[in-house]
Amino acid sequence: MSESLPPRRFPGSGLAKGLAVTLRTMTRRTVTAQYPDVQPELPPRTRGVIALFEENCTVCMLCARECPDWCIYIDSHKETVPAAAPGGRERSRNVLDRFAIDFSLCMYCGICIEVCPFDALFWSPEFEYAETDILELTHERDKLREWMWTVPAPPALDPAAEEPKELAAARKTADKYAAEAEAEAQAAATAAAQATPEAPPATPGTPPATPEAPPATPGTPPATPEAPSAGSGKAAPDDTAPGPEGTP
């Protein structure tokens, strides 16, 4: 069985294709971005410089040990933290004194950002850090901290993507605390309802309690008592009873 032979190419076909591309490009309008007046639109994951979020750094030295170029310089000292509660033990912590990156040696591999366990290093799209002297390309933590504010926000997750484990654990803990708080509120409401004394039921044949009359205001005539209803068993007051002296 004979093998299929490649299509035969005519001499000069490659040159013709190249000239066709050149002719198509010559007819298009040239658009040039006038840098630095017009800033370029960089992709969101551009590797410009490495920014430092100093508050998250624990001086674990992982970034400096894993750097293949040894371009990260870190200095620190230890401080003693007093006990938080009486009778507790004192603790020691590392305090960052210097964090510098020599960008004349950095090859932008991103290993330091990947190995940082506390999210203290980030990629910044900033790229305007040229210097006239190579010795000035070693930027200290103050400059790295300024670049931190140029780090773009992370892109939104895909709606069909799996939820990160950190968010799932945080939401589970929050739901647990909310359920406990709701249960405590219901228990407190039930206890308050049980502690409130209920009024005793009225005995059949017992007249309702007569509310006391408010105290008389000076200059106001006393209220005339109402006549008892028929069959109540009480005698009506005698209109012919002698009144106070001087009255008929």
Q: In this predicted model, what pLDDT tens digit does every residue of 149-188 receive, in sequence order?
A: 988 887 777 778 777 777 788 888 899 999 999 999 999 9
Sign of CA dihedral 159, 162, 166, 170: positive
pLDDT tens-place string over residues 12-67: 888 888 888 888 888 888 788 888 888 888 887 788 999 999 989 999 999 999 99
Give CA angle at 59 (55, 63), nearest 5°: 105
Instruction: Give the other-Cβ count within 10 Å of 72's Cβ.
Output: 20
Mean pLDDT value of segment 61-90? 90
pLDDT at 220 over 70: no
**Token representation of residue 239:** 């209109």
pLDDT tens-place string over residues 104-128: 999 999 999 999 999 999 999 998 8
Is the CB of residue 50 less than 8 Å from the CB of residue 146?
no
pLDDT tens-place string over residues 187-211: 999 988 888 766 566 566 656 555 5
> Is the preceding omega at residue 36 within 30 degrees of 0, hence cis?
yes
Q: Computed over its alpha carbons, how large is the radius of gyration of the chain?
A: 45
For position 246, what pLDDT does the model report?
Answer: 46
For position 13, what pLDDT does the model report?
Answer: 83
pLDDT at 241 over 50: no
Higher pLDDT, 152 or 70: 70
Q: Where are the alpha helices (DSSP H) in 59-162?
A: 62-66, 111-115, 141-148
Q: What is the pTM of this model?
A: 0.52
